[in-house]
């Protein structure tokens, strides 16, 4: 198995992935929904990975408790599947995400990044599939129209099938068992049963087909440091933050061989810096590091997080075994 990371000279201070205006609107919609719905208060909620009541209290946000599994170190919210599903289908949330200003702003800010990412995928596809042209692609949960268009226009793409997306109904262009690759990006965060999800994705793949998975991870520096003060992590948008160990376990138990783990995260230091005034007083080392270090040191620390798989975002490449 390969482990790699994205080396970058661009300062963490200059990184921006989404308009603050739309992010803040999404957060406000989520907060209003969460505060207006009844919460579960039992601590016996099973770990989505281990399926055991092995979680210990980690933090509370908007009256929703988050636990950390003692066995796999994944973080998960105490919640019901029905509540999470209802949240995802909110009319106000869907209207925002489907609006032209929302889609156009994200397309404007990410098109270059998407192009670079698809080049990365082409290299990996050739490495692991021995081909990277006219592939059968299933894209699970993609809600960004600009990204869909970039994928469709790429040489990588032959038949393209988008499933479980707010953009449209399932397109059914690729039959189950015929997908050369499946994209599953930024979706695991909302899963209450990741085993079921990964099993269904495995059924989409052809023999030796490849899964490209991208997700936030609960073993990341900013997640563990900021806890409930992390403004980018909130219920019920994020109910499951697997650890690296948890992801390995999930994939192994559901019929996948992990081929590569990539930690391209470049935002961890920035996220913590942005919330420095909210850090727990017991985080003395982190406070000292971020306030007293030169920018070059912080840049090197971000690289260390990447190399050590301690960033809060990972990409996984796994083959159907």
Span 98-121, average pLDDT: 93
C-beta separation of 47 from 71 below 8 A: yes
Is pLDDT above 90 for 17? Answer: no
User: Two tokens at 310?
Assistant: 């301690």
C-beta separation of 271 from 226 below 8 A: yes
Cis peptide before 196 (omega within 30 of 0): no
Q: What confidence tens digit (pLDDT) does each residue in 38-89 have?
A: 888 887 789 999 999 889 999 999 999 999 999 999 999 999 999 999 999 9
C-beta separation of 257 from 212 below 8 A: no
C-beta separation of 134 from 112 below 8 A: no
pLDDT given for residue 19 in this prediction = 63
Q: What confidence tens digit (pLDDT) does each residue in 223-276 have?
A: 999 999 998 899 999 999 999 999 999 999 999 999 999 887 777 888 888 888
Q: How far apart are the first and last CA of the chain?
A: 14
Tokens 């050590």 belong to residue? 308
C-beta separation of 142 from 109 below 8 A: no
Is pLDDT above 80 for 98? Answer: yes
pLDDT given for residue 1 in this prediction = 53
pTM of full prediction above 0.75 = yes
Specify the higher pLDDT residue, 44 or 320.
320
DSSP string, 114-172: HHHHHHHHHHHHHHHHS--SSEEEEEES---HHHHHHHHHSTTEEEEEEESBTTBS---
């Amino acid at each position: 198995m390969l482990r790699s990371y994205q080396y970058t000279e661009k300062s963490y201070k200059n990184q921006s992935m989404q308009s603050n205006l739309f992010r803040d609107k999404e957060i406000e919609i989520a907060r209003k929904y969460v505060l207006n719905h009844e919460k579960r208060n039992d601590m016996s909620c099973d770990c989505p990975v281990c399926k055991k009541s092995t979680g210990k209290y980690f933090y509370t946000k908007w009256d929703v408790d988050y636990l950390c599994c003692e066995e796999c170190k994944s973080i998960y919210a105490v919640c019901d599947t029905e509540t999470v599903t209802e949240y995802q289908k909110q009319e106000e949330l869907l209207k925002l995400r489907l609006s032209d200003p929302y889609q156009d702003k994200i397309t404007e800010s990410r098109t270059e990044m998407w192009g670079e990412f698809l080049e990365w995928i082409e290299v990996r596809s050739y490495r692991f599939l021995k081909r990277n042209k006219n592939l059968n692609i299933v894209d699970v949960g993609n809600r960004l129209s600009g990204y869909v268009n970039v994928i469709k226009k790429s040489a990588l793409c032959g038949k393209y099938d988008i499933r479980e997306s707010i953009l449209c109904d399932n397109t059914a262009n690729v039959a189950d068992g015929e997908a050369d690759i499946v994209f599953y990006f930024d979706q695991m965060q909302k899963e209450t049963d990741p085993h079921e999800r990964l099993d269904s994705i495995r059924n989409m793949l052809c023999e030796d087909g490849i899964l490209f998975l991208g997700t936030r991870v609960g073993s990341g520096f900013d997640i563990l440091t900021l806890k409930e003060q992390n403004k980018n992590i909130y219920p019920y948008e994020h109910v499951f933050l697997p650890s690296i160990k948890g992801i390995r376990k999930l994939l192994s138990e559901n019929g996948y061989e992990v081929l590569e783990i990539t930690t391209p995260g470049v935002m961890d230091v920035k996220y913590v810096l942005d919330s420095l005034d909210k850090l727990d007083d017991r985080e003395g080392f982190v406070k000292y590091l971020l306030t007293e270090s030169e920018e070059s040191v912080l840049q090197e620390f971000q690289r260390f997080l990447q190399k050590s798989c301690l960033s809060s975002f990972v990409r996984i490449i796994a083959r159907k075994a």
